[in-house]
């Protein structure tokens, strides 16, 4: 049990709007979203008075008012009224618990869908040369299904995946890049037929890596110049394979250009600016972001928040500036997987964002009194008593909190276009 901070206390009659209070109750024993918050209304005061506490701890440094001095008169009638209101408030809390259960079930459903999709990608990558016509048809159908789902949904929820994903990690990169690219396509309203081509190019952007030796692909130390030159050939190798598979010219361009940089520093042709195709510029952003989050050497991995910050602050010249803004707008300043601190001191992890409200994500919240498997989910779109104030590096988080939140080493994204418990929750 975490030691309670040594805050001063007030009586129930000294409660005032503006006091920042701490309720020494379990989360299920009161109707508020958090155990600590600033009082904003007389209704909240009456509800607190009905909780059965004799005194309330408060934080003077976060309070916008001071409790009155002296011995106030009891307010028994108000407490009686508050208890009646409290039963309604606790009923609302029980409804919230039920919503969390539905949200958790929806997240599990999405994870299963993600694993199934990754298995399909594995089948596609393994059979692409052995059964080219059949495999290209399967890939086309997969891309069409993903694109239709993403483009037709009124809102999108982006989920961070859990730990038990069935060993499909080798196939996450191409799936991540496809998902993130189609997310951007939706935002800039690309026509559906162009989105399909984008999806195929994104899914197969690294197909040429099959011609690169594993000792280069999996090397954790920096590549030598010779190894780097060999590795960069995967773009041209990919185009050759794509031609054999009869890919559309625009998809071949993505395979060739996904490592080109807007400032001309990329490869293989050092193309610059809009000499790089629009679809290639989209995939270049998604590809680089995922490589920062999921490098070969996991020790070099950046958090999603760090990756976005690096791309915007130090690598901005390498990407189409308008498309980079689109990417950041879609993922939000705090992408899924980011550990954050709220204005009330609570620590949580971004589990889901709604692309319509990227600054108001769904959080998994740390609470030592609640088992990890039953962790609170807080929808910031519905929360008025707290807001996100900063992202926190995993190394700065106490170990017990880090283990509770369990940010994944492998950051993968999946879009849920039809989730009543998650997408609809942010409407």
pLDDT along the chain (427 residues), means of 10: 71 93 84 86 89 91 86 44 58 70 71 77 86 92 87 72 52 87 94 94 95 92 95 97 95 98 98 98 97 83 88 96 94 86 90 82 86 83 86 85 75 62 27
Note every long-range contact of 83-92, with CB atoms under 8 Å and residues 24 or more positions apart, other chains counting: 83/50, 84/50, 85/43, 85/46, 85/47, 85/50, 86/31, 86/47, 86/50, 86/51, 89/31, 89/47, 90/30, 90/31, 92/31
Q: Check residue 422 and give its pLDDT.
A: 30
pLDDT of residue 426: 24
- Which class does domain 95-426 fall in? mainly alpha
pLDDT for res 263: 98
Predicted local confidence at residue 88, as pLDDT: 65
Q: What are the beta bridge partners of residue 36?
A: 22
The residue with tokens 């909240």 is 44
Report helix, strand and coil shares of the chain as percent, to nearest 5.
Answer: 50, 10, 35
Q: Where are the domains of the chain?
A: 9-74, 95-426
The answer to whether residues 418 and 349 touch, using CB atoms and an 8 Å cutoff, is: no
The answer to whether the CB of 339 falls within 8 A of the CB of 349 is yes
Enter the pTM of the model. Answer: 0.76
């Amino acid at each position: 049990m975490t030691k309670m901070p040594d805050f001063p206390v007030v009586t129930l009659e000294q409660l005032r709007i503006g006091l920042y209070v701490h309720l020494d109750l379990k989360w299920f024993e009161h109707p508020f979203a958090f155990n600590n918050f600033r009082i904003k209304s007389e209704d909240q005061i009456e509800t607190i008075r009905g909780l059965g506490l004799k005194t309330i701890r408060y934080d003077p440094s976060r309070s916008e008012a001071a409790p009155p001095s002296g011995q106030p008169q009891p307010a028994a009638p108000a407490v009686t009224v508050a208890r009646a209101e409290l039963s309604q408030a606790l009923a609302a809390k029980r409804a919230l618990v039920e919503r969390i259960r539905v949200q958790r079930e929806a997240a599990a459903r999405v994870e299963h869908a993600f694993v199934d999709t990754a298995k399909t990608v594995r089948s596609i990558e393994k059979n692409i040369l052995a059964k080219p016509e059949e495999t290209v048809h399967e890939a086309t159908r997969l891309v069409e299904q993903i694109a239709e789902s993403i483009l037709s949904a009124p809102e999108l929820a982006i989920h961070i995946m859990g730990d038990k994903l069935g060993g499909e990690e080798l196939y996450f990169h191409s799936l991540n890049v496809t998902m993130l690219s189609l997310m951007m396509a939706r935002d800039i309203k690309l026509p559906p037929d162009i989105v399909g081509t984008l999806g195929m190019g994104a899914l197969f952007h690294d197909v040429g890596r099959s011609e690169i030796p594993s000792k280069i692909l999996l090397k954790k130390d920096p590549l030598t110049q010779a190894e780097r030159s060999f590795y960069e050939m995967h773009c041209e190798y990919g185009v050759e394979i794509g031609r054999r598979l009869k890919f559309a010219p625009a998809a071949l361009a993505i395979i060739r250009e996904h490592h080109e940089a807007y400032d001309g520093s990329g490869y293989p042709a050092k193309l610059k600016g809009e000499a790089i195709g629009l679809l290639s510029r989209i995939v270049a952003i998604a590809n680089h972001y995922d490589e920062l989050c999921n490098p070969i050497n996991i020790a070099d991995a950046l958090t999603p928040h760090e990756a976005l910050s690096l791309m915007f602050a130090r690598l901005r010249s390498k990407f189409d500036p308008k498309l980079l803004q689109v990417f950041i707008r879609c993922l939000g300043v705090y992408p899924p997987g980011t550990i954050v601190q709220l204005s009330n001191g609570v620590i949580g992890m971004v589990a889901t964002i709604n692309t319509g409200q990227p600054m108001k994500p769904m959080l998994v919240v740390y609470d030592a009194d609640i088992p990890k498997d039953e962790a609170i989910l807080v929808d910031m779109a519905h929360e008025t008593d707290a807001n996100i104030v900063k992202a926190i590096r995993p190394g700065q988080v106490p170990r017990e909190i880090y283990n509770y939140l369990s940010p994944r080493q492998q950051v993968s994204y999946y879009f849920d276009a039809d989730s009543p418990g998650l997408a609809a929750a942010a409407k």
